Protein backbone atom coordinates (compact mmCIF):
# COMPACT_ATOMS: atom_id res chain seq x y z
CA UNK A 1 0.00 0.00 0.00
CA UNK A 2 2.80 2.37 1.00
CA UNK A 3 4.63 1.83 -2.33
CA UNK A 4 1.44 2.53 -4.25
CA UNK A 5 0.92 5.72 -2.27
CA UNK A 6 4.38 7.03 -3.04
CA UNK A 7 4.07 6.08 -6.69
CA UNK A 8 0.88 8.15 -7.04
CA UNK A 9 2.47 11.12 -5.28
CA UNK A 10 5.52 10.99 -7.55
CA UNK A 11 3.47 10.78 -10.73
CA UNK A 12 1.22 13.67 -9.67
CA UNK A 13 4.21 15.80 -8.66
CA UNK A 14 5.94 15.17 -11.97
CA UNK A 15 2.77 16.00 -13.89
CA UNK A 16 2.30 19.28 -11.98
CA UNK A 17 5.91 20.19 -12.54
CA UNK A 18 5.71 19.56 -16.27
CA UNK A 19 2.42 21.49 -16.49
CA UNK A 20 4.15 24.41 -14.82
CA UNK A 21 5.98 24.79 -18.09
CA UNK A 22 9.34 24.55 -16.42
CA UNK A 23 11.44 22.30 -18.59
CA UNK A 24 14.88 21.47 -17.30
CA UNK A 25 17.37 21.02 -20.05
CA UNK A 26 18.10 17.41 -19.20
CA UNK A 27 14.42 16.62 -19.93
CA UNK A 28 14.62 17.83 -23.47
CA UNK A 29 18.21 18.46 -24.45
CA UNK A 30 17.73 19.04 -28.16
CA UNK A 31 19.82 17.19 -30.69
CA UNK A 32 20.70 20.39 -32.55
CA UNK A 33 21.62 23.84 -31.22
CA UNK A 34 19.77 26.99 -32.24
CA UNK A 35 22.36 27.97 -34.84
CA UNK A 36 22.25 24.47 -36.34
CA UNK A 37 18.45 24.54 -36.67
CA UNK A 38 18.41 27.98 -38.28
CA UNK A 39 19.22 28.79 -41.90
CA UNK A 40 21.10 31.94 -40.77
CA UNK A 41 23.42 33.00 -37.90
CA UNK A 42 22.01 33.05 -34.38
CA UNK A 43 23.93 35.49 -32.23
CA UNK A 44 24.09 36.84 -28.72
CA UNK A 45 25.03 40.21 -27.28
CA UNK A 46 27.33 39.34 -24.41
CA UNK A 47 29.66 40.53 -21.69
CA UNK A 48 33.28 39.29 -21.77
CA UNK A 49 33.50 39.43 -17.97
CA UNK A 50 30.57 37.02 -17.65
CA UNK A 51 32.05 34.91 -20.44
CA UNK A 52 35.27 34.60 -18.47
CA UNK A 53 33.75 34.15 -15.01
CA UNK A 54 30.65 31.99 -15.59
CA UNK A 55 30.98 28.46 -17.03
CA UNK A 56 27.19 28.22 -17.58
CA UNK A 57 27.12 31.48 -19.55
CA UNK A 58 30.13 30.41 -21.60
CA UNK A 59 28.72 26.95 -22.31
CA UNK A 60 25.44 28.32 -23.63
CA UNK A 61 27.22 30.72 -25.97
CA UNK A 62 29.62 28.03 -27.12
CA UNK A 63 26.80 25.57 -27.82
CA UNK A 64 23.79 27.56 -28.95
CA UNK A 65 25.19 30.58 -30.86
CA UNK A 66 27.53 31.14 -33.80
CA UNK A 67 27.80 34.91 -33.61
CA UNK A 68 28.62 37.33 -30.81
CA UNK A 69 28.21 41.07 -30.28
CA UNK A 70 30.08 42.83 -27.45
CA UNK A 71 27.33 44.34 -25.28
CA UNK A 72 29.32 47.37 -24.08
CA UNK A 73 33.07 46.81 -24.43
CA UNK A 74 33.48 48.40 -27.86
CA UNK A 75 31.60 51.54 -26.85
CA UNK A 76 33.58 54.75 -26.38
CA UNK A 77 33.26 54.68 -22.58
CA UNK A 78 34.97 51.28 -22.48
CA UNK A 79 37.35 51.30 -25.42
CA UNK A 80 38.42 54.97 -25.53
CA UNK A 81 38.41 56.13 -21.90
CA UNK A 82 40.84 59.01 -22.38
CA UNK A 83 41.64 61.25 -25.37
CA UNK A 84 44.91 59.52 -26.17
CA UNK A 85 44.28 56.09 -24.61
CA UNK A 86 42.38 53.11 -25.97
CA UNK A 87 41.51 50.10 -23.81
CA UNK A 88 41.03 47.02 -25.96
CA UNK A 89 41.62 44.35 -23.32
CA UNK A 90 38.01 43.38 -22.48
CA UNK A 91 36.74 43.51 -26.04
CA UNK A 92 39.83 41.63 -27.24
CA UNK A 93 39.06 38.83 -24.80
CA UNK A 94 35.62 38.36 -26.34
CA UNK A 95 36.77 38.78 -29.95
CA UNK A 96 39.69 36.37 -29.51
CA UNK A 97 37.49 33.81 -27.72
CA UNK A 98 34.91 34.09 -30.50
CA UNK A 99 37.47 33.68 -33.28
CA UNK A 100 39.05 30.71 -31.45
CA UNK A 101 35.59 29.11 -31.15
CA UNK A 102 34.56 29.74 -34.74
CA UNK A 103 32.02 32.46 -33.95
CA UNK A 104 31.28 35.49 -36.13
CA UNK A 105 31.87 38.85 -34.42
CA UNK A 106 29.55 41.80 -34.99
CA UNK A 107 31.09 45.04 -33.70
CA UNK A 108 28.95 47.37 -31.61
CA UNK A 109 28.97 50.40 -31.86
CA UNK A 110 31.19 53.08 -33.36
CA UNK A 111 28.88 56.07 -32.79
CA UNK A 112 26.04 56.27 -30.26
CA UNK A 113 24.75 59.38 -28.45
CA UNK A 114 23.79 57.61 -25.18
CA UNK A 115 25.61 59.48 -22.35
CA UNK A 116 26.14 56.21 -20.42
CA UNK A 117 28.20 54.96 -23.33
CA UNK A 118 30.39 58.07 -23.66
CA UNK A 119 33.52 58.87 -21.62
CA UNK A 120 33.64 62.03 -19.51
CA UNK A 121 36.41 63.59 -21.60
CA UNK A 122 34.29 63.40 -24.74
CA UNK A 123 31.19 64.82 -23.09
CA UNK A 124 33.31 67.77 -21.96
CA UNK A 125 35.31 68.10 -25.19
CA UNK A 126 35.43 71.62 -26.56
CA UNK A 127 36.43 72.14 -30.17
CA UNK A 128 35.37 73.43 -33.54
CA UNK A 129 33.90 71.25 -36.26
CA UNK A 130 37.32 70.27 -37.57
CA UNK A 131 38.44 69.19 -34.11
CA UNK A 132 35.31 67.07 -33.62
CA UNK A 133 35.77 65.54 -37.08
CA UNK A 134 39.30 64.54 -36.16
CA UNK A 135 38.08 62.95 -32.91
CA UNK A 136 35.42 60.92 -34.72
CA UNK A 137 37.64 59.92 -37.66
CA UNK A 138 40.60 58.92 -35.49
CA UNK A 139 38.38 56.79 -33.22
CA UNK A 140 36.77 54.92 -36.10
CA UNK A 141 40.10 54.37 -37.90
CA UNK A 142 41.76 53.15 -34.68
CA UNK A 143 39.00 50.81 -33.49
CA UNK A 144 38.03 49.36 -36.88
CA UNK A 145 41.70 49.07 -37.79
CA UNK A 146 42.44 47.23 -34.53
CA UNK A 147 39.82 44.58 -35.32
CA UNK A 148 40.46 44.37 -39.07
CA UNK A 149 40.04 40.78 -40.21
CA UNK A 150 38.50 39.70 -36.86
CA UNK A 151 35.27 41.70 -36.67
CA UNK A 152 33.13 40.81 -39.69
CA UNK A 153 30.66 43.69 -39.39
CA UNK A 154 29.95 46.86 -37.45
CA UNK A 155 27.06 48.86 -36.15
CA UNK A 156 28.66 52.05 -37.46
CA UNK A 157 25.95 54.37 -36.13
CA UNK A 158 23.32 53.45 -33.53
CA UNK A 159 20.00 55.24 -32.91
CA UNK A 160 20.69 58.48 -34.80
CA UNK A 161 17.00 59.22 -35.43
CA UNK A 162 14.14 60.47 -33.28
CA UNK A 163 10.77 58.70 -33.23
CA UNK A 164 9.47 61.20 -35.81
CA UNK A 165 12.30 60.42 -38.21
CA UNK A 166 14.18 63.67 -37.68
CA UNK A 167 17.86 63.53 -36.93
CA UNK A 168 18.55 63.30 -33.18
CA UNK A 169 20.18 66.63 -32.47
CA UNK A 170 19.16 68.87 -29.56
CA UNK A 171 18.63 67.78 -25.99
CA UNK A 172 14.87 67.86 -25.47
CA UNK A 173 14.86 67.22 -21.72
CA UNK A 174 13.39 69.95 -19.52
CA UNK A 175 16.62 70.43 -17.58
CA UNK A 176 19.28 69.69 -20.16
CA UNK A 177 22.35 68.19 -18.60
CA UNK A 178 24.84 66.09 -20.44
CA UNK A 179 23.91 63.09 -18.29
CA UNK A 180 20.39 62.90 -19.64
CA UNK A 181 21.09 64.23 -23.09
CA UNK A 182 18.63 62.51 -25.42
CA UNK A 183 19.96 64.56 -28.31
CA UNK A 184 23.17 63.76 -30.14
CA UNK A 185 26.58 65.07 -29.28
CA UNK A 186 27.60 63.84 -32.74
CA UNK A 187 24.98 65.66 -34.80
CA UNK A 188 25.40 68.87 -32.81
CA UNK A 189 29.17 68.99 -33.29
CA UNK A 190 29.63 67.27 -36.66
CA UNK A 191 26.60 68.44 -38.62
CA UNK A 192 23.73 66.44 -40.04
CA UNK A 193 25.82 64.46 -42.56
CA UNK A 194 28.09 62.84 -39.96
CA UNK A 195 26.46 59.45 -40.49
CA UNK A 196 27.64 59.22 -44.11
CA UNK A 197 31.19 60.21 -43.15
CA UNK A 198 31.24 57.66 -40.33
CA UNK A 199 30.41 54.93 -42.84
CA UNK A 200 33.12 56.20 -45.20
CA UNK A 201 35.76 56.22 -42.45
CA UNK A 202 34.78 52.72 -41.33
CA UNK A 203 34.95 51.42 -44.91
CA UNK A 204 38.36 52.99 -45.44
CA UNK A 205 39.62 51.38 -42.22
CA UNK A 206 38.43 47.88 -43.20
CA UNK A 207 37.04 47.63 -46.75
CA UNK A 208 35.94 44.04 -46.12
CA UNK A 209 33.86 44.78 -43.03
CA UNK A 210 30.08 44.87 -43.51
CA UNK A 211 28.64 48.15 -42.29
CA UNK A 212 25.25 48.48 -40.56
CA UNK A 213 22.94 51.23 -39.38
CA UNK A 214 21.34 50.02 -36.12
CA UNK A 215 18.05 51.34 -34.71
CA UNK A 216 15.06 50.52 -32.52
CA UNK A 217 11.33 51.17 -32.83
CA UNK A 218 10.88 50.05 -36.42
CA UNK A 219 7.73 48.21 -35.25
CA UNK A 220 6.11 51.28 -33.69
CA UNK A 221 7.50 54.35 -35.47
CA UNK A 222 6.64 54.48 -39.19
CA UNK A 223 8.23 57.95 -39.52
CA UNK A 224 11.54 56.57 -38.25
CA UNK A 225 11.25 53.70 -40.74
CA UNK A 226 10.58 56.16 -43.56
CA UNK A 227 13.66 58.17 -42.57
CA UNK A 228 15.82 55.04 -42.55
CA UNK A 229 14.54 54.06 -45.99
CA UNK A 230 15.26 57.58 -47.26
CA UNK A 231 18.76 57.54 -45.78
CA UNK A 232 19.57 54.20 -47.42
CA UNK A 233 18.38 55.47 -50.80
CA UNK A 234 20.47 58.61 -50.35
CA UNK A 235 23.54 56.55 -49.43
CA UNK A 236 23.08 54.31 -52.44
CA UNK A 237 22.78 57.32 -54.72
CA UNK A 238 25.93 58.91 -53.24
CA UNK A 239 27.78 55.58 -53.16
CA UNK A 240 28.23 55.80 -49.40
CA UNK A 241 29.19 52.26 -48.31
CA UNK A 242 26.36 50.65 -46.30
CA UNK A 243 25.62 46.91 -46.23
CA UNK A 244 22.90 46.32 -43.71
CA UNK A 245 20.24 47.46 -41.28
CA UNK A 246 19.98 46.41 -37.64
CA UNK A 247 16.52 46.14 -36.11
CA UNK A 248 17.11 45.94 -32.37
CA UNK A 249 13.67 44.44 -31.63
CA UNK A 250 13.46 45.04 -27.90
CA UNK A 251 9.83 43.95 -28.07
CA UNK A 252 7.03 43.28 -25.60
CA UNK A 253 3.87 41.19 -25.74
CA UNK A 254 1.93 44.10 -27.25
CA UNK A 255 4.08 44.01 -30.41
CA UNK A 256 1.48 42.82 -32.89
CA UNK A 257 2.28 40.44 -35.71
CA UNK A 258 1.31 43.16 -38.18
CA UNK A 259 3.84 45.58 -36.67
CA UNK A 260 6.58 42.95 -36.62
CA UNK A 261 5.88 42.03 -40.24
CA UNK A 262 5.91 45.68 -41.30
CA UNK A 263 9.22 46.34 -39.54
CA UNK A 264 11.05 43.37 -41.06
CA UNK A 265 9.54 44.00 -44.48
CA UNK A 266 10.62 47.66 -44.49
CA UNK A 267 14.23 46.63 -43.96
CA UNK A 268 14.06 43.82 -46.54
CA UNK A 269 12.72 46.23 -49.15
CA UNK A 270 15.95 48.28 -49.01
CA UNK A 271 17.76 45.28 -50.45
CA UNK A 272 20.34 45.46 -47.65
CA UNK A 273 21.27 42.74 -45.18
CA UNK A 274 18.70 42.47 -42.38
CA UNK A 275 19.97 41.83 -38.86
CA UNK A 276 17.57 41.47 -35.95
CA UNK A 277 20.33 42.73 -33.72
CA UNK A 278 19.24 42.84 -30.04
CA UNK A 279 16.16 40.63 -29.65
CA UNK A 280 14.38 40.23 -26.35
CA UNK A 281 10.66 39.89 -25.61
CA UNK A 282 9.47 41.53 -22.39
CA UNK A 283 6.52 40.08 -20.51
CA UNK A 284 6.37 43.11 -18.20
CA UNK A 285 5.53 45.30 -21.19
CA UNK A 286 7.99 47.87 -19.74
CA UNK A 287 5.89 48.32 -16.58
CA UNK A 288 7.54 48.24 -13.14
CA UNK A 289 5.55 45.53 -11.34
CA UNK A 290 7.26 43.86 -8.37
CA UNK A 291 4.31 41.46 -8.07
CA UNK A 292 4.54 40.19 -11.64
CA UNK A 293 4.58 36.38 -11.92
CA UNK A 294 6.10 34.57 -14.91
CA UNK A 295 2.87 32.63 -15.42
CA UNK A 296 2.32 29.82 -17.96
CA UNK A 297 0.06 32.24 -19.86
CA UNK A 298 2.83 34.86 -20.15
CA UNK A 299 5.27 32.14 -21.18
CA UNK A 300 2.82 30.97 -23.84
CA UNK A 301 2.41 34.48 -25.27
CA UNK A 302 6.16 35.11 -25.16
CA UNK A 303 6.91 31.79 -26.88
CA UNK A 304 4.41 32.55 -29.62
CA UNK A 305 6.07 35.93 -30.19
CA UNK A 306 9.55 34.40 -30.45
CA UNK A 307 8.26 31.71 -32.80
CA UNK A 308 6.51 34.25 -35.00
CA UNK A 309 9.62 36.43 -35.29
CA UNK A 310 11.73 33.43 -36.32
CA UNK A 311 9.19 32.34 -38.93
CA UNK A 312 8.43 35.83 -40.26
CA UNK A 313 12.13 36.62 -40.63
CA UNK A 314 12.48 33.59 -42.88
CA UNK A 315 9.24 34.26 -44.76
CA UNK A 316 10.06 37.89 -45.54
CA UNK A 317 13.85 37.99 -45.88
CA UNK A 318 15.49 36.12 -48.79
CA UNK A 319 18.43 33.94 -47.74
CA UNK A 320 20.97 36.27 -49.32
CA UNK A 321 19.76 39.12 -47.09
CA UNK A 322 19.60 37.18 -43.80
CA UNK A 323 22.37 38.50 -41.56
CA UNK A 324 20.78 36.69 -38.67
CA UNK A 325 19.03 37.10 -35.34
CA UNK A 326 21.05 38.21 -32.31
CA UNK A 327 19.67 37.96 -28.76
CA UNK A 328 20.56 40.62 -26.24
CA UNK A 329 22.30 38.62 -23.55
CA UNK A 330 22.11 35.01 -22.41
CA UNK A 331 20.09 34.50 -19.22
CA UNK A 332 17.24 36.51 -17.76
CA UNK A 333 19.44 37.61 -14.87
CA UNK A 334 22.00 39.20 -17.23
CA UNK A 335 19.50 41.17 -19.30
CA UNK A 336 19.72 44.95 -19.49
CA UNK A 337 15.99 44.86 -18.79
CA UNK A 338 16.48 43.46 -15.32
CA UNK A 339 19.77 45.24 -14.62
CA UNK A 340 19.78 48.57 -16.46
CA UNK A 341 15.99 49.09 -16.64
CA UNK A 342 15.43 47.46 -13.23
CA UNK A 343 12.22 45.74 -14.37
CA UNK A 344 10.97 42.43 -13.02
CA UNK A 345 11.02 40.43 -16.24
CA UNK A 346 12.09 37.21 -17.96
CA UNK A 347 12.83 38.40 -21.53
CA UNK A 348 15.29 35.80 -22.82
CA UNK A 349 15.53 32.15 -23.90
CA UNK A 350 17.49 31.00 -20.85
CA UNK A 351 16.73 31.48 -17.18
CA UNK A 352 19.06 33.01 -14.62
CA UNK A 353 20.76 29.62 -14.21
CA UNK A 354 21.36 29.34 -17.97
CA UNK A 355 18.79 26.57 -18.35
CA UNK A 356 16.64 26.43 -21.46
CA UNK A 357 13.18 27.85 -20.80
CA UNK A 358 9.92 26.78 -22.40
CA UNK A 359 10.14 29.71 -24.82
CA UNK A 360 13.48 28.34 -26.08
CA UNK A 361 11.63 25.38 -27.58
CA UNK A 362 8.89 27.54 -29.10
CA UNK A 363 11.55 29.75 -30.72
CA UNK A 364 13.49 26.72 -31.90
CA UNK A 365 10.37 25.40 -33.61
CA UNK A 366 10.09 28.73 -35.40
CA UNK A 367 13.68 28.54 -36.60
CA UNK A 368 13.07 25.29 -38.44
CA UNK A 369 13.46 26.20 -42.06
CA UNK A 370 10.18 27.06 -43.75
CA UNK A 371 11.94 27.69 -47.09
O1 LIG B 1 31.04 47.67 -15.80
C2 LIG B 1 30.53 48.71 -14.94
C3 LIG B 1 30.75 48.34 -13.48
O4 LIG B 1 32.16 48.27 -13.23
C5 LIG B 1 30.10 49.37 -12.59
O6 LIG B 1 30.23 48.99 -11.23
C7 LIG B 1 28.61 49.47 -12.97
C8 LIG B 1 27.86 50.46 -12.12
O9 LIG B 1 27.96 51.73 -12.67
O10 LIG B 1 28.49 49.87 -14.35
C11 LIG B 1 29.05 48.87 -15.20
O12 LIG B 1 28.92 49.31 -16.55
C13 LIG B 1 27.59 49.24 -17.02
C14 LIG B 1 27.59 48.38 -18.30
O15 LIG B 1 26.26 48.35 -18.86
C16 LIG B 1 28.05 46.96 -18.05
O17 LIG B 1 27.11 46.30 -17.26
C18 LIG B 1 27.14 50.66 -17.37
O19 LIG B 1 27.02 51.42 -16.18
C20 LIG B 1 25.79 50.62 -18.07
O21 LIG B 1 25.48 51.92 -18.58
C22 LIG B 1 25.86 49.66 -19.27
O23 LIG B 1 24.55 49.56 -19.80
C24 LIG B 1 24.51 49.04 -21.14
C25 LIG B 1 23.81 50.09 -22.03
O26 LIG B 1 23.64 49.57 -23.36
C27 LIG B 1 24.65 51.36 -22.13
O28 LIG B 1 25.89 51.07 -22.73
C29 LIG B 1 23.69 47.76 -21.12
O30 LIG B 1 24.40 46.76 -20.42
C31 LIG B 1 23.46 47.30 -22.55
O32 LIG B 1 22.62 46.15 -22.59
C33 LIG B 1 22.79 48.41 -23.36
O34 LIG B 1 22.66 47.95 -24.67
C35 LIG B 1 22.04 48.88 -25.58
C36 LIG B 1 22.71 48.74 -26.93
O37 LIG B 1 24.09 49.00 -26.80
C38 LIG B 1 22.06 49.65 -27.96
N39 LIG B 1 20.63 49.37 -28.06
C40 LIG B 1 19.92 49.48 -26.77
C41 LIG B 1 20.54 48.54 -25.75
C42 LIG B 1 19.78 48.60 -24.45
O43 LIG B 1 19.90 49.90 -23.90
CATH code of the domain in which 239 resides? 3.20.20.80
User: How does pLDDT run across 287-307, given as a tens digit for each residue?
Assistant: 999 999 999 999 999 999 999
Per-residue model confidence (pLDDT) at position 3: 60
Q: Is residue 256 part of a domain?
A: yes
Note if 159 is an active site residue. Answer: yes
| Set 64, 159, 215, 268: catalytic member | 159
Q: Is residue 237 part of a domain?
A: yes
Q: Which structural domain range is residue 180 located in?
A: 43-367
Per-residue model confidence (pLDDT) at position 346: 98
Per-residue model confidence (pLDDT) at position 21: 44
Per-state percent for the chain, helix, strand, coil, to nearest 5? 45, 15, 35
235 CA distance to ligand 1 centroid (A)?
31
Instruction: Give the residue among 272, 119, 133, 247 at the shortest CA–CA distance from 196.
Output: 133
Distance CA 93, CA 78 (A): 13
114 CA distance to ligand 1 centroid (A)?
10
Per-residue model confidence (pLDDT) at position 29: 67
Note if 278 is an active site residue. Answer: yes
47 CA distance to ligand 1 centroid (A)?
10
Query: In ligand 1, which atom is closest to the CA atom of 45?
Result: 32
Per-residue model confidence (pLDDT) at position 14: 59
Q: State which of 46, 72, 80, 216 you would mutate to test the pocket of ligand 1, scoring each by most atoms of that ligand within 8 A of its C-beta.
A: 72
Q: Is residue 4 part of a domain?
A: no
Query: In ligand 1, which atom is closest to the CA atom of 117?
Result: 28
Whether the Cβ atoms of residue 354 and residue 57 lie closer than 8 Å to each other: yes
Q: Is residue 120 part of a domain?
A: yes
Overall number of domains in the chain: 1
Which segments in the chain show pLDDT lower than 70? 1-29, 176, 178, 371
Per-residue model confidence (pLDDT) at position 175: 73
Query: In ligand 1, which atom is closest to the CA atom of 49?
Result: 1
Amino acid sequence: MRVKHWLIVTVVALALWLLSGYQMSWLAAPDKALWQVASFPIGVGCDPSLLEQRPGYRQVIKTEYNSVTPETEQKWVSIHPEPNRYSFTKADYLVNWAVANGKRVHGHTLLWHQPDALPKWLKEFKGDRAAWEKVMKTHIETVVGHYKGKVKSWDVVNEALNDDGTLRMANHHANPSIENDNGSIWARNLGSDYIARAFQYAHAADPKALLFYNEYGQDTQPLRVAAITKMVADFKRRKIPIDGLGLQFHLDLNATEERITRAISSAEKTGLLVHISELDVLVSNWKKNPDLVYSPELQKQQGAKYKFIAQEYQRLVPKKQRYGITHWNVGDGDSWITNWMKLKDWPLLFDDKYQRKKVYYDYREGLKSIK
